[in-house]
Amino acid sequence: MQIKHKARTIKWDHAIKAEITFCVWGVISPLLSNLVLDDLDKELARRGHRFCRYADDCNIYVRSRRAGERIMASVSRFLTNKLRLKVNDAKSAVARPEERKFLGFSIANDGSERRIAPKALDKFKAQIRDMTRRTRGISLAQLIENLAPYLLGWRGYFGFCQTPRVLTNLEAWTRRRLRLYLWRQWQNGPNRFHELRRRGVPKFSAAVAAGSPTGFWRMSGHPAVQQAPRNAYFHGLGLPHLYVPVQA
């Protein structure tokens, strides 16, 4: 069960009425939420519920949908009547853990695996697409230098997941975006043939790839293009790994 909250409206009995709306960014938002929702934490602990809350984002874990609906109604009443908060019905739901996201993660239904939420993966790909867009007009080395801080920050947060295959797949997808970027930079058949040959691709394979009318994305997965700048080449330019095995 996931509950989100809206700011409350405070009214006085005097002639003047004031509506207070919190529009807070940065580290102060969790602090304000902790002050307001500390009573919620105590109430959920008193009831013996298993829950996790960060700022105004709270998940409560129960054994069945029926129990979830009952607790949703009960907690909503507590927030409304005791804390004078308005529950955001549009963002609150009773659902299986893997169907909801919490701080960019989702949890397997049996609780065995911590996954990256689909929306977080979509946001990652959208950001990489934007940073490797066709009109950048900079060298590959400069592009990787620009990508590195974002990739390191993303890894620092989502590397906590328990699905390493997802991270390695994202690594491969990112390298393919870089190959696509190079293929565009090489511009035409003769120059592409020269660049492929310079990187050790056999003459026949280079000629076939350079003369292909196939689109950019499909060509970025072509064996000759995959062979030209190998994985180690990108990492040698400073491209960070997204998956780093944990040392025992």
More confident residue, 94 or 14: 94
Q: Give the chain's end-to-end CA distance (angstroms, integer).
A: 35
More confident residue, 219 or 25: 219
More confident residue, 217 or 244: 217
Cβ neighbours around 235 below 10 Å, total: 14
Rounded to the nearest angstrom, the gap between the alpha carbon of residue 238 and the centroid of all alpha carbons in its chain is 22
Mean pLDDT of 152-161: 92
Rounded CA separation 197/237 (Å) = 20
For residue 130, pLDDT beyond 90: yes
Q: Which pLDDT score is estimated for 25?
A: 45
